[in-house]
Amino acid sequence: MKLRSKEWFARKGKDGFIYRAWMKNQGIPADMFEGKPVIGICNTWSELTPCNAHLRDLAEAVKKGVLEAGGFPLEFPVMSLGETLMKPTAMLFRNLASMDVEESIRANPMDGVVLLVGCDKTTPSLVMGACSVDLPSIVVSGGAMLTGKFRGKDIGTSDVWRFADDSKKGLISEEEMNMAEAGMCRSIGHCAVMGTASTMAGMVESLGITLPGNAAIPAADSRRKVLARMSGRRIVEMIKENLKLSDVLKREAFENAIKVNAAIGGSTNFAIHLMAIAGRIGVDLNLEDFDHYSKDIPLVANLQPSGQYFMEDLYYAGGIPAVMNSIKGSLNADILTVSGKTVAENIQDQESLNDDVISTKDNPFNPISGIVVLKGNLCENGAVLKPSAATPELMKHTGKAVVFENIEDYKNRIDSDDLDVDANSVLVLKNVGPKGYPGMPEVGNMGIPKKLLDMGVTDMVRISDGRMSGTGFGTVVLHVSPESAVGGTLALVQNGDLIELDVEARKLNLLLDDAELESRRQNLKVEGNPYTRGYCKLYVDHVEQAHLGADLDFLKGGSGSEVLRDSH
At residue 219, φ and ψ (nearest 5 deg) are -60, -35
Question: Is the Cβ of residue 5 or residue 125 nearer to ligand FES in the bound state?
Answer: 125
User: 145 vs 546, which CB is nearer to ligand FES?
Assistant: 145
Q: Which is nearer to ligand FES, 267 or 326 (CB)?
A: 267
Does 479 bind ligand FES (CB under 6 A)? Our answer is no
Contacts with ligand FES in 78-107 (CB under 6 A)? 83-84
Q: Which lies closer to ligand FES via its Cβ, residue 157 or residue 359?
A: 157
Among positions 112, 148, 195, 298, the unique one binding ligand FES when judged by CB under 6 A:
195
Q: Which is nearer to ligand FES, 364 or 470 (CB)?
A: 470
List residues bridging with 77 in a β-sheet.
43
Using the minimum distance from each CB to ligand FES, give the nearer residue, 162 or 361: 162
Question: In the bound complex, what is the minimum distance in angstroms from residue 181's beta carbon to ligand FES?
Answer: 14
Q: In a 10 Å sphere around its CB, with 0-12 CB exposed, 13-18 middle and 19+ buried, how is residue 106 labelled?
A: buried
Residue 305 binds ligand FES, judged by CB under 6 A: no
Which residues in the 386-445 window bind ligand FES by CB under 6 A?
A: none
Closest CB 367 distance from ligand FES, rounded Å: 28
Contacts of 77 (CB under 8 A, 6+ apart): 43, 44, 45, 46
Q: Which of residues 226-265 bind ligand FES (CB under 6 A)?
A: none
Position 190 contacts ligand FES (CB under 6 A): yes
To ligand FES, the closest distance from the beta carbon of 274 in angstroms equals: 18
The nearer residue to ligand FES, 84 or 332, going by C-beta atoms, is 84
Buried b (16+ CB within 10 A) or exposed e, 167-181: ebeeebeeeeeeebe
- Judged by CB, which is closer to ligand FES: 40, or 195? 195
Cis upstream peptide for 449 (omega within 30°): no
Q: Which residues on adjacent β-strands are paired with residue 288?
A: none
- Give the integer Cα–Cα distance in Å for 149 and 192: 12
Q: Among 116, 119, 477, 501, which residue interacts with ligand FES (rule: CB under 6 A)?
A: 119
Q: Does 273 bind ligand FES (CB under 6 A)?
A: no
Q: Is 120 in the site for ligand FES (CB under 6 A)?
A: yes
What are 301's strand-pairing partners?
A: 358
Min dist. Cβ of residue 98 to ligand FES (A): 18
Find the shortest distance in angstroms from Cβ 218 to ligand FES.
13
Residues 6+ apart with CB under 8 A from 255: 289, 293, 332
> Interface with ligand FES by CB under 6 A: which range of 126-134, 191-199, 215-223, 454-462?
191-199
Residue 439: closest CA among 123, 97, 90:
90
Q: How far is CA 503 from CA 166, 269, 294, in A?
A: 29, 19, 15
Nearer to ligand FES, 201 or 480 (CB): 201
- The C-alpha atoms of residue 317 and residue 321 are separated, in whole angstroms, by 10
Of 110 and 191, the one with the shorter C-beta distance to ligand FES is: 191
Whole-number minimum distance, CB 199 to ligand FES, in Å?
A: 10
Rounded Cα–Cα distance for residues 469 and 191 (Å): 11
Angstrom distance (rounded) from CA 372 to CA 475: 12
C-alpha dihedral, 234 to 312 to 57 to 95, nearest 10°: 80
Question: Least distance (Å) from ligand FES to the CB of residue 55?
Answer: 12
Among 117, 139, 140, 197, binds ligand FES (CB under 6 A): 197
**Mask 23-62, x = binds ligand FES (CB under 6 A)?**
----------------------------x-----------
Q: Which of 157, 398, 138 is nearest to 267 (CA)?
A: 157
Beta carbons of 196 and 267 less than 8 angstroms apart? yes
CB under 6 A: which stretch of 59-67, 91-99, 189-197, 205-213 binds ligand FES?
189-197
The region that residue 550 occupies, defined by phi over 0 for left and psi between -120 and 50 for alpha, beta otherwise, is left
The least CB distance from residue 144 to ligand FES, in Å, is: 8
When the beta carbons of 80 and 337 are compared against ligand FES, the nearer one is 80
Smallest distance, ligand FES to C-beta of residue 49, A: 7
Q: Report cis status (omega within 30 of 0) of the bond before 482.
A: yes
Given a contact cutoff of 8 angstroms between Cβ atoms, the answer to whether 549 and 276 are in contact is: yes
Per DSSP, the three-state class of 43 is strand
The runs of H, that is alpha helices, within 400-447 are 407-413
Using CB under 6 A as the binding rule, whether residue 323 contacts ligand FES is answered as no
191 is an interface residue for ligand FES by CB under 6 A? yes
Site string for ligand FES, 128-167 (x = CB under 6 A): -----------------------------x----------
* Residue closer to ligand FES, measured from CB, 28 or 85: 85
State how far the Cα of 432 lies from the Cα of 546, in Å rounded to an integer: 11
Q: How far is the CB of 81 from ligand FES (least distance, A)?
A: 9
**Looking at 188-196, 284-292, 449-457, 526-534, which segment touches ligand FES (CB under 6 A)?**
188-196
Least Å distance between CB 468 and ligand FES? 13
- The piece of 38-46, 187-195, 347-355, 410-418 that touches ligand FES (CB under 6 A) is 187-195
The amino acid at residue 431 is: N
Residues 57-60: contacts with CB under 8 Å, at least 24 apart: 57/225, 58/116, 58/140, 58/142, 58/224, 58/225, 58/228, 59/116, 59/228
Interface stretch with ligand FES, choices 166-174, 190-198, 302-310, 428-436 (CB under 6 A)? 190-198
- Total residues contacting ligand FES by CB under 6 A comes to 10
Instruction: Quote the least distance from Cβ 197 to ligand FES, whole Å.
Output: 3
- With the CA atoms of 142, 144, 146 and 150 taken in that order, what torsion angle do they form, in degrees rounded to the nearest 10? 140
Report the alpha-carbon distance of residue 360 to residue 309 in Å, rounded.
16
The dihedrals phi and psi of 486, each to the nearest 5 degrees, come to -105, 10
Round to whole Å and give the CA distance between 96 and 92. Answer: 8
**Cα 516 to chain centroid, rounded:** 38
Question: Interface residues with ligand FES (CB under 6 A)?
Answer: 51, 83-84, 119-120, 157, 190-191, 195, 197
